[in-house]
A and B are shown apart, each in its own frame.
Chain A
């Protein structure tokens, strides 16, 4: 079944009569016949298909770089979509020039994705430093250049803007003024503000949130499918009395940026940067991570250690369920048909010490071989509360309850660290797979539990087992 879906595409409003589930990528390349957006994986892992999705919110439009291969077109309804064609000033502009001069493009296939991601960064950044800019390009793969030239081009662009644009002035207008965005986009942005998002997909029982699990390598299943969108345009992360409350639709990027969360758990930037890439994090929801039930879900591991409680809403009403009771077996959940995760709650515990560890073949944009989160609280120098989780070591995300019990009442020293590390390794039941052998994963979990003590308590050399 198809629906009429309207959005602003680059400079003009478009309406397509298409199935709601069709990947935005296919609408752009097919229905709209814009071939500048490329695709090289259809699983969110290459960034060739990145477009900007501008979402009108309260009189402003917030632009995010997303992988269009994983996004249902219905989610673009009422938005302003900018593709590489939309960034093209019809000549070589100041965004493009450094890429040409530095040779930051060889075969060119990745180039549109890089430029769109970079434009997304320029629209949102709060500093002209290269670090965050490079981070925003971590979801874009280039096989030709080795990235050094892309880094140089990016640094040049930031260097130019540092002198020309005040961080506080309205960014969109400033980038248009400086020629980094074509001026026609300004009018298009205004058009988007007038559009009504129409995501009424009532009566469809295939909920999609970010689509970053559902759509992976399954364009065929969705190209002609109707889907229901889990509302993602509300919620966020807030403090409610003694609890931190997360909307189920809060994204990984929301977690990274939340000041409220940072105040409770410490800076989450480092931990969240280990999850996916910016375009994935912008769409990846917490509830989606839970329901996908991957044994190596990063947010799942974090919330397990934090002993979160789910608030489920369905035809039968609302019910609360500890996340630790959600997983019944491999990809088997205590989730009733039609039920949605509405929100997630964790208790505020002043002085809680939180850490997340993850090792994968590639540090960024990779799935963990093993991940683990620790949430510890001390009183009078001894551990009085301990949450410890592990992913990648069992068919389900694991709460290491035996190790948690062991930690209570101990002081956080090397001896405790080693005891916990050995206990965690003993609780793990890993298998051999493409992410590592069982022996490795067990050993890795041991080491990552030690790493928690290194990070949280500043232990270091004491953790090194002196080789015999």
Chain B
């Protein structure tokens, strides 16, 4: 079952915001942004911009009728900087002009009077200087201090991961249209229409009911349009309100790469204690998250790092410290995995270091410590339906990990220049927003008198196939073929107070709500049918557009039934609300049940390194993934493959280069993401009979977990490098670029 959008995509008829026809009188907006990472902003001279042809207005904080504040979790971020700028690319004003080009010329013409201040770019330095976004947090389980004495081996080390650019192909875009009565309509490429609505209302000084935010689809997001779409939409709305004309704000790629947040860089110190047989006894880790200049979603991301610090393993004694550090870089933000990948990389690094020291294979230690049923996570929850061991064993068996490892050892013993490596990467990922409040969703379903159906939810389609899944749920719940159902655009007018489509939970939450609404209508229709057919309600069902009695067709068809219900003045619309049951978390005690369930899986990755040139290829990645009972197998396979490849990119070639706070990798020619020719042979297998009573129709969320399979590639590469340089110890500093590989192979130390 493919996404209903696909047919439009392949014909070139799908419309994204920048493809929408310009409304009459439309203007273009461009932001004036800070060229300095940290400076006192003494004055903005907009006169040169105002004098340019086509420039209609230059708006600064002084033009904001409401609050100059876009912060979500913490209100620490101005829409337009006033007294101080905190990072390069921070907006200080917006120029509105007749054309895209004129708006940019205007933005360039504004003169900022800046007095440079000292800036911090490093997370550890920021922490040392007390620059924290929120108080740091610690999860503590067992008795770590006492446990070290029980260990046969204790290893320590440092691990770093760099940030990552989302590189959604559609850049940030918004189109705001002033309507009568002061109302503003905003088309935004956002994962979080309610956030855009709330903040637009806050900044424009309007009640939320005068702001409507609508979304058709996004050209990719991956977390990069959860919070980061908001300022651009708000600027467009402000400009529309101030000028009384429609305003379009689309970032070009360079602006997008310079001005929007990315995956957080993390730096970490780890200490891991094990028994001689490889059993993990204790783990202590310090995670320094580089949050950038404002909170954005960093505290929530830090929380997910805490929860995933022990990966797919059971660690009886663990202490996890995490600090969100304020620096003068772009506010880093959500990106597939949401802090979990950074923490899981550290755990894998610790295991690698232990394997190195103990002379064991990494996969032995991994296999020994995987989560078993009922094992407790450091946050107090016990794992249920753990498929960590099952998926690892199935992967190791199906793909014959032992044979792969032997074959590689043999190859490396007989080849001097070309070395190979392999790694297993087990994943365990918790599903639900860690902020329990967000785990709710609404749906509105209308059945029209011709039998066609519209389903609206708060879910945003961004390529992840959520519409296909909601369609599957609605079709099953109503008993009508998918062709009769349309999944509507997402708008705050239809579904209010939505959670962002994020945390892999879009289909779980919105699909559940849609299912409830559809079932409510189906029940009403069954009552109508019961009366009409004079058959007890319980014996009736609807499937594939036909009313069945005890499973046999009755001759009564959907269209007729719907019309019949209408004439009997039965309500053919339903709204439903879903809230994930049973989840809670107490931040005081750092204990709770933050997740509805966990997703498991294991990947086996193989690589080859050319030790003359320091270049490498990822040859093959094979995965066994716990996908529950899939609502849309083609969609889930696509998520598995796409997530993996993003993870591979993060670990290998995607290198964000900052120099004095300036992003030097700010174009597609300087920031490289995986391409088709570099794609390994990928094989994805889903676990059979993997039920999941915790989600809609026994399905499982899939968006984020596959990303973390990519982490394995780092360790596979490291193995190949060490095969060439057995005298060198592993370093844990991702991404492992050709430069780092060559320095490892041939550089001086």
Contact = CB atoms under 8 A, between A and B. Distances in A.
A381 interface: no
Interface in B645-674: 645-646, 653, 655, 657, 664-665, 667-670, 672-674
A362 B672 contact: yes
A364 interface: yes
A359 B634 contact: no
Contact of B746 (A46, A365, A447, A451): A447
Nearest to A146: B645
B736 to A, nearest CB: 11
Interface string B610-621: 011111010000
Chain B, interface size category, equals 35 or more
Interface in A411-468: 433-437, 439-440, 443-444, 446-448, 450-451, 454, 460-461, 463-465, 467-468
Interface in A89-140: 92, 96, 99-103, 105-112, 115, 134-135, 137-138, 140
A437 B739 contact: yes
A183 interface: no
Given A146-B674, A359-B613, 13 more contacts: A36-B13, A42-B252, A88-B13, A101-B634, A103-B2, A103-B638, A141-B167, A145-B641, A148-B641, A148-B645, A148-B679, A440-B742, A444-B739
A140 B638 contact: no
Interface stretch (A202-210, A216-224, A232-240, A402-410): A216-224
A461 B13 contact: no
B6 A464 contact: no
Most chain B Cβ neighbours within 10 Å, of A83, A109, A465: A109
6 contacts: A41-B253, A112-B9, A148-B641, A361-B672, A443-B746, A443-B747
B149 interface: no
A45 interface: yes
Q: Which 3 A-B pairs have the closest CB atoms?
A: A36-B12, A107-B463, A108-B9
A106 B464 CA distance: 6
A148 B104 CA distance: 39
B416 A464 contact: yes
Interface of A: 35-38, 40-43, 45-46, 48, 83-85, 87-88, 92, 96, 99-103, 105-112, 115, 134-135, 137-138, 140-151, 216-217, 220, 223, 357, 359-367, 369, 433-437, 439-440, 443-444, 446-448, 450-451, 454, 460-461, 463-465, 467-468
B451 interface: no
A463 B417 contact: yes
A361 B217 contact: no
A141 B668 contact: yes
Nearest to A84: B12
B742 A444 contact: yes
B463 A440 contact: no
B679 A146 contact: yes
A361 B737 contact: yes
A467 B655 CA distance: 28
Given A46-B169, A149-B641, A447-B612, A88 B12 contact: yes
A96 B2 contact: no
B219 A107 contact: yes
B273 interface: no
B569 interface: no
A36 B738 CA distance: 37
Interface in B570-617: 611-615, 617
A221 to B, nearest CB: 10
B170 A40 contact: yes
B6 A107 contact: no
B742 to A, nearest CB: 6
Nearest to B710: A146
Contacts of B725: 467
Given A42-B253, A83-B12, A103 B644 contact: no
Given A36-B12, A146-B642, A443-B743, A48 B672 contact: no
B459 to A, nearest CB: 14
Contacts of B462: 107
B637 interface: yes
B254 interface: yes
Interface string B21-59: 000000000000000000000000000000000000000
A108 B677 CA distance: 20
B7 A92 contact: yes
B5 interface: yes
B222 interface: yes
A444 B219 contact: no
Nearest to B257: A41
Contact of A143 (B168, B417, B678, B679): B168
Contacts of B676: 134, 137-138, 140, 142, 147, 150-151
Given A105-B10, A108-B14, A43 B667 contact: yes
Contacts of B6: 99-100, 103, 105, 108
B11 A96 contact: yes
A145 B222 CA distance: 12
B88 interface: no
B563 interface: no
Given A96-B11, A138-B677, A223-B101, A369 B3 contact: no
A286 B14 CA distance: 38
Contacts of B634: 101-103
A141 B641 CA distance: 15
B299 to A, nearest CB: 27
B372 to A, nearest CB: 31
A135 B327 CA distance: 42
Nearest to A364: B677
B220 interface: yes
The listed residue with most A CB atoms (<10 A of its CB), out of B8, B11, B635, B746, is: B11
A371 to B, nearest CB: 12
B722 to A, nearest CB: 11
Contacts of B673: 141, 143
A362 B171 CA distance: 22
A437 B221 CA distance: 32
Nearest to B461: A107
B19 interface: yes
Contacts of B221: 107
Contacts of B19: 35
Given A447-B746, A461-B416, A107 B170 contact: yes
Contacts of A88: 11-13
B669 A109 contact: no
Interface in B418-472: 462-465
B357 interface: no
A148 B252 contact: no
Contacts of B665: 434
B11 A144 contact: no
A48 B169 contact: yes
Contact of A146 (B3, B105, B641): B641
Contacts of A87: 12
A362 B653 contact: yes
A35 B15 contact: yes
B218 interface: yes
Contacts of B465: 103, 106
B254 A107 contact: no
B742 A443 contact: yes
B3 A106 contact: yes
B219 A109 contact: yes
Nearest to B668: A45
Nearest to A109: B219
B552 interface: no
A149 B637 contact: yes
Contacts of A35: 15, 19
A147 B13 contact: no
A35 B12 CA distance: 8
B502 to A, nearest CB: 15
B741 to A, nearest CB: 10
Contact of A362 (B2, B657, B667, B678): B678
Contacts of A365: 675
B643 interface: yes
B727 interface: yes
Contacts of A134: 676-677
